[in-house]
Amino acid sequence: MNLEKLENILSDEPKFRLKQAKRAVFVDLIDDWSQATVLPAALREKLNQACPLRIKAEVLKGRPADVSKALIHLDDGLKIESVLMRHAGGRSTVCLSSQVGCALGCLFCATGRMGFKRNLTPEEIVGQVLLWARRLKKEKQKVSNLVFMGMGEPFLNYENVMGAIRIFNSQDGFNIGARHISLSTVGVKDGIKKIAAEPLQLNLALSLHAPNDAVRAKLIPYDNAYPIGNLLQDANYYLAQTKRRLMIEYLLIDGLNDSPEQALELAGLLKQINPPLFFVNLIAYNPTADFQPPSTRKIFEFKKILRDQKIDVTERYRFGQDIKAACGQLAGR
């Protein structure tokens, strides 16, 4: 659904029509304009022609059962994926894609191995939430949290991602608070600085995955263009500006970044973050490439070393569940 088109079509109508139409889309969660009975029949017909609401998707029930994945077919035939994670108490998180593929080519990532196809429009990003919200409504539930941890690097599609976030956040959109919206980035030039200047209080996660540039460049080729030193400077700037808590994501991969020495080195590196408003989220690698996750014992030891160094560590997604639930693995098939 294209909001700009909707606004254009309704520009000849009385002002309240746009409000009614948005309410029908984002609150009543209609999937066909014929259901928007507050609008005149002729207008509904016109909207169905010019601004169809249907979202073409294959939905797969995941394992565990509280995770579902959707493979969404875009108008040009490309495919993206989006994941719904349900939590106890009726809350639920949608994991969003921001691009089709990704130009950064991280070696461990299914999306990175696909290469970059194109940016998603704000409507295509919003469509992922509409899809899940419509399904949840049937069970009288709502989407409560959003994480940009699906396909793509959100900071390389900054304007469209922010356009979608404004719709998520706005009162006549989904009305989801900024504090319930999280962005994950590998850290591209200027991205973190831009987000620090946004008036919205969004959550930020930084995909670090290594204790030094030599290891990081083996996993993330982009590290050669934007080394850890720059990232930590950006993190410090972000923390000074926002006073929000930063999540440092660390993917544990067997034999690559999981040794006790590397845990100590990581702890040393993170001591450069100032103010120290951060926590580390350890993620066991979900094998999609030629890498393997470490053993449970190794993960435990890595975590213990960080804790002994007084670093706050979690082993799960704050925002959802562990990354096995998340994205990049469907659309690349």
Residue 196's CB is within 10 A of a number of other CB atoms, namely 17
Contacting ligand SF4 within 165-204 (CB under 6 A): 186
DSSP H stretches of helix in the chain? 3-9, 16-26, 41-50, 110-114, 122-137, 158-169, 191-197, 213-219, 228-242, 260-270, 296-308
Query: How far is residue 251's CA from residue 114's CA, in Å, rounded to a whole number?
Result: 20
Distance, in Å, from the CA atom of 181 to the CA atom of 195, rounded to the nearest integer, reads: 13
Closest to 100 in 3D by CA, of 84, 77, 83 = 77
- Under rule CB under 6 A, residue 85 binds ligand SAH: no
Site for ligand SAH in 158-217 (CB under 6 A): 184-186, 207
251 binds ligand SAH per the rule CB under 6 A:
yes
106 part of the active site: no
Q: Are 145 and 165 in contact (CB under 8 A)?
A: no
| Distance of alpha carbon 99 from alpha carbon 109, whole angstroms | 14
Asked if 327 is an active-site residue, the reply is yes
| Ranges within 3-22 binding ligand SF4 (CB under 6 A) | none
Of the residues 13, 58, 81, 124, only one is catalytic, namely 81
Of 104-112, 129-137, 174-182, 260-268, the window that binds ligand SF4 (rule: CB under 6 A) is 104-112
Decide if residue 111 touches ligand SF4 (CB under 6 A): yes
Cα Rg of the chain (Å, integer): 21
- Binder among 81, 123, 153, 223 for ligand SAH (CB under 6 A): 153
- Nearer Cβ to ligand SF4 (103/200): 103
Options 51, 95, 102, 327, the catalytic residue:
327
Are the beta carbons of 178 and 201 closer than 8 angstroms? yes
- Does 249 sit near ligand SF4 (CB under 6 A)? no
Q: Is 257 in the site for ligand SAH (CB under 6 A)?
A: no
Span of 75-83, 160-168, 255-263, 323-331 interacting with ligand SAH by CB under 6 A: 323-331
Instruction: Just list the catalytic residues.
Output: 81, 327
- Give me the residues that bind ligand SF4 (CB under 6 A), please: 102, 104-106, 109, 111-112, 152-153, 186, 328
